[in-house]
Structure 1
Amino acid sequence: MSQKVAVYRHEHFNAAHRLYNPAWSMEQNDAVFGKCNNPSFHGHNYELVVKVIGVPDPETGYVLDLKWLSDLIKREVHTRFDHKNLNLDTSEFQQLNPTAENIAIVIYNLLRPHIDADKDLQVRLYETPRNFVEYPV
């Protein structure tokens, strides 16, 4: 079989963050980030969908074992970000604004080294039911 198939794993985590640029005034941060610039932070129930594309293995029929992918996401993402303040509790966002876009890129970079190079990887992150990002596009 030489046809590619996409498989998906849906996970979630909860985290708080604040969007702001420390080089800007409070007024500029408020104008750009609005309520997301709350100095007391705010939280989201993030929904994460990880997509892996590849050719199914002829012996197993799997692109990859979805239980293995779930364990990888729990190890690399959930334990790192769930119930954390992304700005204060994580090394990844000490100098990086934790926008949904940046969170998706960070998650991709955490997972990519563990997925075989012959497989494509995409991360979709829902910050709210109506707002989501994908990386890469």
Structure 2
Amino acid sequence: MCVPLLSAAKQQTTMQSVAKESKQDTSGKMTFLSRTETFAAAHRLSSKSLNDEENKKVFGKCNHSHGHNYKVTVTVRGRINPLTGMFMNIYKLQEYMQEAIMEPLDHKNLDEDVDFFADVISTTENLAVYIWNNLEKILPAGCLYKIKVYESDRNFIVYKGD
């Protein structure tokens, strides 16, 4: 519904009366906030437990170094604070994602530049676990709900922790 523009004072009075009349109480309601970031990274799927022939058979063309423009959607959850009308500022989530995802992963070779993948195969599944672990260290306890990591437009992993 479109509302005509009112003066600031009139608008506040109108909003207060609507709030009183509707008696809507949103405080404490569980909400979910999601944000998406995109990063570029290279990797090569290869297991140290397999020989060259087995790696080629298991991983196919992904056994060669190649890159992706990964897209990561992080969803956090929390109860609405009555003072702010939100449980987390979207810009704070952006900062968390910058620290946990963009800084360690963007324009990196996962196998060579990220210590986690020294002994872990750099599949999208393991990348999701890595991102989850990084976020869980810095987000407020219990608010991380799920992450979705897109390797391509058609292929993605959803991870909700252990």
Matched, 1:50 2:50: no
RMSD: 1.2
Per-residue displacement from partner, 1:59-83 (whole Å, max 9, x unpaired)?
1111211101111111221110100
Q: In the alignment, which of 97, 103, 119 is matched to residue 79 of structure 1?
A: 103
Would you say 1:128 and 2:152 are equivalent positions?
Answer: yes
TM-score w.r.t. the length of structure 1 is 0.93
Partners of 1:54 and 1:120 within 8 A in 2 = no
Q: Does 1:103 align with 2:137?
A: no
Kept after mapping to 2: 8 A contact 1:112/1:121: no
> Identity, % of aligned pairs?
36
- Candidates 36, 41, 55, aligned match of 1:29: 55
TM-score by length of 2: 0.79
The CA deviation string for residues 58-112 of structure 1, in whole angstroms up to 9 with x for no partner, is 1111121110111111122111010000001111111111100000011011001
How far the C-alpha of 1:113 sits from its partner, in A, is: 2.2
Where does structure 1 differ by over 6 angstroms across 4 or more consecutive aligned residues? none
Partner of 1:17: 43
Deviation (angstroms), 1:120? 3.8
Q: Which residue of 1 aligns with 2:17?
A: none
SS of 1:92 mapped into structure 2:
helix
Structure 2 gap segments, 5+ residues each: 1-26
Return the structure number with greater relative CO, CA threshold 8 A, min gap 6.
Answer: 1
Report the CA distance between 1:20 and its aligned residue.
0.8
Q: In the TM superposition, what is the alpha-carbon distance from 1:118 to its structure 2 partner? A: 4.1
Pick the structure with more helix per residue: 2
Paired residues, what number? Answer: 135
Task: Say whether the 8 Å CA contact 1:47–1:125 is kept in structure 2.
Answer: yes
Output the amino acid matched with 1:61: G
The structure with the larger Rg is 2
